[in-house]
């Protein structure tokens, strides 16, 4: 009654099996591709951002991650004071600075 279903199942089970090393090679190849296309460029961007943030000094114009543009008035270990308008100074974390404006 179900012979039409069982016969194709046996035929598929008898298909040639690949070498186990092929699977491992493919996994390693995929990891290497991901490393060079995703991980390595991200590490490079993080390193460049860290260098940019560490080079900020009072008087530089910066833009925060929220889009606020201002002039740096003071810098300490983790924070900086940014003047966003005349007489208005806000304290922001150094790592939230998105870019240095020219």
Q: Contacts for 77-84 with beta carbons within 8 Å, 24 or more apart?
A: 80/56
The edge-to-edge listing of strands for the beta sheet with 79-85 is 88-93, 79-85, 69-75, 61-64, 97-101
Residue 19 pLDDT level (bands cut at 50, 70, 90): confident
CB 99 within 8 A of CB 61: no
**Two structure tokens written together for 28:** 């390693």
Query: Tens of pLDDT along 89-99?
Result: 999 999 999 99
Query: Tens of pLDDT along 30-41?
Result: 999 999 999 999
Residue 63 three-state SS? strand
| CATH no., domain 19-101 | 2.30.30.60
**Two structure tokens written together for 29:** 């190849």
CB atoms inside a 10 Å sphere around CB 69: 13
pLDDT, position 8? 62
Mean pLDDT value of segment 13-22:
66
> What's the chain's average pLDDT?
87
Is the pLDDT assigned to residue 59 strictly greater than 60? Answer: yes
Whole-model pTM over 0.85: no
Q: State the Cα–Cα distance between residues 46 and 52, nearest whole angstrom.
A: 10
Is the pLDDT assigned to residue 72 strictly greater than 90? Answer: yes
């Amino acid at each position: 009654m179900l012979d039409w279903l069982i016969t194709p199942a046996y035929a598929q089970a008898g298909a040639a099996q690949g070498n186990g090393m092929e699977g491992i090679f493919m996994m390693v190849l995929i990891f290497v591709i991901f490393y060079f296309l995703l991980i390595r460029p991200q590490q490079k961007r993080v390193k460049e951002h860290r260098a940019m943030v560490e080079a900020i000094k009072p008087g530089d114009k910066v833009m925060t991650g929220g889009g606020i543009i201002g002039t740096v008035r003071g810098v300490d270990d983790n924070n900086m004071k940014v003047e966003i308008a005349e007489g208005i100074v806000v304290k922001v974390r150094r790592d939230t600075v998105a870019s240095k404006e020219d």
